[in-house]
Structure 1
Amino acid sequence: MSEQTGLRERKKLRTYQAISDTALALFAEHGYDQVSITQVAEAAEVSRRTLFSYFPTKEDLVISRMADHETEAGRVVRNRPPDQPPLAALRTHYLDGLSRRDPITGLTDLEPALVLYRVILGTPSLVAGMFKFKVNGEEALAAALHETAALPTLTAKLAATQIMAVMWMLSLDNRERVVAGTCSDDLYPHAVAAAEQGFTQLANGLGTLLTATTTTT
């Protein structure tokens, strides 16, 4: 890469980050639905055309901040040691994320992440928009399971859907608790216990959980 090309790429990255940061600040202050694309562009001192070249939709201004994690589960499965089962690799990775307070697990006190969570959780259209993010993650994981664990296509899809649903729910529960004011250090034991329960349930299947005849009121 030439020096000129490197400078150009760094400038593009700075512009991308500036637009994203400006948008999130405006959404946090005024509400996602109350802020227009034009207002974001003006505050970031770029044209609407420039903004759309980086973020094709308004939702992308928010959800793109999590883009690096969209296919993370699939990468974990592909990069696992040869003797490690896929589910064990994902469990280890998720627990490690909790210990590092990785924002994608929802267990973090970092203010930028908390602002992002508040904007998403407070905006129904963004919560719905996260469905695409989840579906893309499921597809990447299903492909990894099919190609590296020799699972039939349908089996891999079913497994990926279940795994992503559990990790999604665990992270959502963590996000809701930290947004409500729980410190990540105080929440950590609960988050670990919940993750262990989730991955154990994945490993063992529903078993008798939904077949017992006893009911409670």
Structure 2
Amino acid sequence: MAQRDALAAAEAPQARRPGLRERKKRQTAERIWRAAVDLFVERGFDKVSVAEIAEAADVSKMTVFNYFGTKEDLVLGPMEEHVADAADAVRGRAPGESAVDALRRQLLGAIAERSPAVGLSDDQRSLRTLRLVLETPVLLKRAHDFHLRGQTLLADVLAEEIDEPVLAHVAAAQLIAVRNAVCSDAMRRRMAGEPLEAIAADAERHARAAFDLLEKGLSEFAVKA
């Protein structure tokens, strides 16, 4: 996360670079997040207090809550940043581009970047965080809620265009299902220790095939002989 922020700042025009205050806020947030994840992984999510996290990050307990509203946010805050990704991709697509094409482009781009958001990362802390989420029921439920929110946001964008809320929700569910299936497979295989590049190659292949299937419809899929 810090490396991505630094790279983005270096490539941005001078006027758009974050100021000193913003950089310090990001550094503080990341220090708190790192301290929290390390403690949760070491001792378990339920056995670590916010006060202990504050002490490890060398900040006050109030500062922790200023940056992260709940204890769950200390783990899932980075995930929440991506809740609106699908809706944003569809809302911002070019004239003449379909929703399928927009989400295909977005997912393939994230795979090409080896983004942690789609389960593709060699960063050990990101991998430990993923395992922590999968092994902690309250965090897993919260992650599931994020997926549902993302689907609802996408449906809302589609409904604004086609004025058919039911069909918008049907389409959103199918579009989000492609992303979730590809990402879930990548995350499962990363947790099993499979090589990143092999997983990424399969993720790209699966994404292309799944969006092609969605684009063509399911009328000829799994026809019983």
- Range class of TM-score, shorter chain: 0.7 to 0.9
Aligned match of 1:22 in 30, 35, 60? 35
- Paired residue type of 1:165: A
Per the TM alignment, residue 20 of structure 1 is displaced from its structure 2 partner at its CA by 0.9
Distance of aligned partners of 1:205 and 1:124 in 2 relative to their CA distance in 1, 3 Å threshold? farther
* Distance (whole Å) between structure 1 residues aligned to residue 200 and residue 88 of structure 2: 25
Q: TM-score, normalised by structure 1?
A: 0.85
Per-residue Cα deviation, 1:158-198 (whole angstroms, up to 9, x for no partner): 21122112211210110110121111112223212221232
Q: Which stretch of the first structure deviates more once superposed, 193-202 or 67-76?
A: 193-202
For residue 176 of structure 2, what is the aligned residue in structure 1? 164
The SS at the match of 1:69 is coil
- Paired residue type of 2:29: Y
Matched, 1:183 2:187: no
* Distance (whole Å) between structure 1 residues aligned to residue 44 and residue 218 of structure 2: 40
Contact 2:155 2:172 in 1 (8 A): yes
For residue 155 of structure 1, what is the aligned residue in structure 2? 167
Alignment of 1:65-214 (within 5 A): 65-147=78-160, 149-207=161-219, 209=221, 212=224
Per the TM alignment, residue 28 of structure 1 is displaced from its structure 2 partner at its CA by 1.9
Contact 2:186 2:200 in 1 (8 A): no
Per the TM alignment, residue 98 of structure 1 is displaced from its structure 2 partner at its CA by 1.2
Per the TM alignment, residue 151 of structure 1 is displaced from its structure 2 partner at its CA by 4.6
- Paired residue type of 2:119: G
| Structure 1: segments with no counterpart, 5+ residues | 1-5
Q: TM-score, normalised by structure 2?
A: 0.83
The SS at the match of 1:125 is helix
The higher-RCO structure (CA 8 Å, 6+ apart) is 1
Matched, 1:52 2:65: yes
* Distance (whole Å) between structure 2 residues aligned to residue 102 and residue 77 of structure 1: 19
The alignment of Structure 1 onto Structure 2 pairs a total of residues equal to 208
Per the TM alignment, residue 210 of structure 1 is displaced from its structure 2 partner at its CA by 6.7
Query: CA RMSD, aligned part only?
Result: 2.2
Distance of aligned partners of 1:145 and 1:34 in 2 relative to their CA distance in 1, 3 Å threshold? same
Distance of aligned partners of 1:10 and 1:100 in 2 relative to their CA distance in 1, 3 Å threshold? closer
The SS at the match of 2:81 is helix
